[in-house]
Structure 1
């Protein structure tokens, strides 16, 4: 049997197992170990899994993963996010669509606290959505705002998805996080501009709040500003030393986790339940990602041994005669297709052994490609019929918002995301300027 046929058999077996509902790490790891045993015998097969585990355990930046997840859960479980929304409520409620624009700002800050899309969706659906609907905001508008805003969690640092990409692509986590800053802020700004224009043209989509609901004294406004900007202060305390080279990435993540913990203690919100929930969720998510990374490393090692990447590169560039940019665009389209029925981690683990080396062989920057991959994941999250965020919203939305409403609400925001993806592809400096500037010192 040829190596190309073995690679196709491995890939198809893995996809079949995923379609039957098996866990991502179980399906990928099983295929990798069985293939290694059949190809290289007992010694080679066992060595493959063992070396992948040792590589994972020795990867020092992985320590950032539980630190940032813990920081995010402490800030969300201690209800500091509620202060954020109240701040945006008062400061932006006087503009058409102001609360929707404030919700995007809330999502950016939640993303900087957690690094997961699910956290932003949960906070947006439970805090922002009821308030927006109660104030007669258009349900299609607000549903799209929360889905689009929550997707920023996997792009804005500290993105957990970029940590996973860094491990598989063997790229520095710090550079990837810095590369996600400007694209994430640019996408948030594009969302805000779209909301502003739509609500200016059709004020009924986002009515201005009545004066009695937004007019408070300047003392109260400043108090809310201080309380709402606490997460920004924590993020600055964590990232400024790292950007200036005073601390390592792991040290900065520890500073962020401790700052979030002490902030909750000072505000009197660090109860036993908050601490226990934060620790349990941190442990669960960290272990899940470690299993996925371990399976991905084993699967990638088998593919490297088969030479599948070189075979696929030859197929695209020699037999089909495609240019590097055409190949890159086809990769992005395949991610969007996969995202209709898989989450971001599954997509990355399935295709990373093929795509990441191929991108490097085609001459593209792997840090830049990590940002492209993440933006494409955001789009895939919101693409019917089985986009991840669509069903999260369906589970959390009130009964008056139907699945049809959810599907319709994301159309303009997906178009905005496509614009952002195009801009980053055409102007790579949007993603690469900050990491080049910081690491080039």
Structure 2
């Protein structure tokens, strides 16, 4: 029996089993569930344990707040299938095109606006990859700068509320999602501000990196053009205000605001005469696939963590970390390093489900705010979205990038943005009040 070897050996056995199965190509959702069943049998040899684990899985999938996940994914899918985001980009391009690096900066600004309506990175990166990247390359932008802007900007969807990452963290850590949304806003704006500052600085130092659009291409704007620009910018902003305003104003819960967001996007799409049966059907199919993946990963991770905690694993890890002769700040930095390494190989959902039930009680014992730690986790996951070898943002962009842009080109382009993400983590660790003042 595995129990005779002790919890330390069992922990090592679980880690090795997961690595071997990952290398064998087993999907993470099935992998974690398979390991949970095997370890449960070897440690307990009883079916009662799995009944308790089944109860945890049921609580996870039946949680009222979890309804927000498919709603926000559906909203992002509808934006992806309609022309709302495309027209927003084209309108802002005309405004920012006269500035060196302006098209890249406005691409980042569009990414922030889209982030307030999406909460996921896939659709946003694909959208920017199809619209912004060809435009910047056509205008003569440095290839690496254009690629990095699209990938890093698209990943902001997981930072700016309504972020799916924050929702999943709130569910796993049993933390207020409303407070997480409030705390994430300044962190997301700091990160986006650093991106924009970097773009403007490098285009000022090296003008050839981001040339301005010529006056002939921008042309003379007529009254009709100005009205169209105003409409194309105001409608997406109204959706963002509708969603975030309902949450922060106390009008609706996170789940209710997700439903309101779907309604808002459908109303705007109807006014634009773009809400067709095909658009809705394709958006629903995309939503089912995305949410199905999230649920399966969540079920598997919940099973594994449930079994591991029943074995005493949470106490083992907690006692091991707290017994080390290191400062609480060093513990936080150690956790951030672990998350970065895990994020290089695992999907963020799996990282959250596997680590947060163990990490959050430890940081609470150390006297840290779990909401602050949740925002830190979200910034940390920005690194995982971009970093090789399995950064999902790179693969999303590769799926729509021109054929001459390779994965190697994409991963080479993201390093300045990864450095800025790590710098943002450092700022939030050194000055936690940047986050906490929003909800305290």
Structure-2 separation of matches of 1:71 and 1:375: 23
Residues 1:434 and 1:216: Cα distance change in structure 2 (over 3 Å): farther
Q: Is the 8 A contact 1:90 1:221 kept in 2?
A: no
Give 2:350's aligned residue. Answer: 346
Local SS of the residue matching 1:209: coil
Question: What residue number does 1:322 align with?
Answer: 326
For the 8 Å contact 1:71–1:260, the answer to whether it is kept is yes
Aligned residue-pair number: 435
> Are 1:370 and 2:374 counterparts?
yes
What SS is found at the alignment partner of 2:439? helix
Tell me the residue number matched to 1:296: 301
Choose 349-358 or 148-157, whichever is displaced more. Answer: 349-358
Partner of 1:439: none
- The correspondence of residues 384-423 of structure 1 with structure 2, limited to 5 A, is 384-423=388-427
Match of 1:209 in 2: 213
Q: Distance in 2 between matches of 1:411 and 1:151?
A: 14
Runs of 5+ in structure 2 lacking a partner?
A: none
Residue 236 of structure 1, aligned match among 221, 236, 241: 241
1:14-413 map, 5 Å: 14-217=18-221, 219=223, 220-318=225-323, 320-413=324-417
Shift of 1:218: 5.7
Deviations 1:56-111 (A, max 9, x none): 24411111111111111112211111111111210100100000001101111221
| Cα pair 1:115 1:154 within 8 Å, conserved | yes
Q: Equivalent of 2:428, from 418, 421, 424?
A: 424
Cα pair 1:299 1:353 within 8 Å, conserved: no
What is the SS of the residue equivalent to 1:12?
Answer: helix
How far apart are residue 269 of structure 1 and its match? 0.3
Which is further off, 165-174 or 120-129? 165-174
Q: Residue 244 of structure 1: CA displacement?
A: 1.6
Change in 2 beyond 3 A, CA 1:392/1:237: closer
C-alpha displacement of 1:406:
2.1
Distance 1:378 1:388 in 2: 10
Segments of 4+ moved more than 6 angstroms: none
Q: CA deviation at 1:241?
A: 2.4
Distance 1:102 1:381 in 2: 22
Distance 1:298 1:3 in 2: 17
Contact 2:298 2:349 in 1 (8 A): no
What's the CA shift string for 1:365-419, capped at 9, x where partnerless? 1111111111111112222333222333333321333444323211211121121
Residue pair 1:89, 1:214 contacting (<8 A) in 2 also: no
Moved more, 196-205 or 403-412: 403-412
Distance, in Å, in 1 between the alignment partners of 2:187 and 2:220 is 35
**How many Å separate the matches in 2 of 1:372 and 1:154?**
12
The alpha carbon displacement at 1:30 in A equals 1.8
- Structure 1 residues 269-278 or 409-418, which shifts more? 409-418
TM-score (norm 2): 0.94
Offset, 1:277: 0.7
CA contact (8 A) 1:303 1:353 kept: no
- Once the two structures are TM-superposed, the CA of residue 275 in structure 1 deviates from its matched residue by 0.5
Which runs of no fewer than 5 residues in structure 1 stay unpaired?
Answer: 437-441
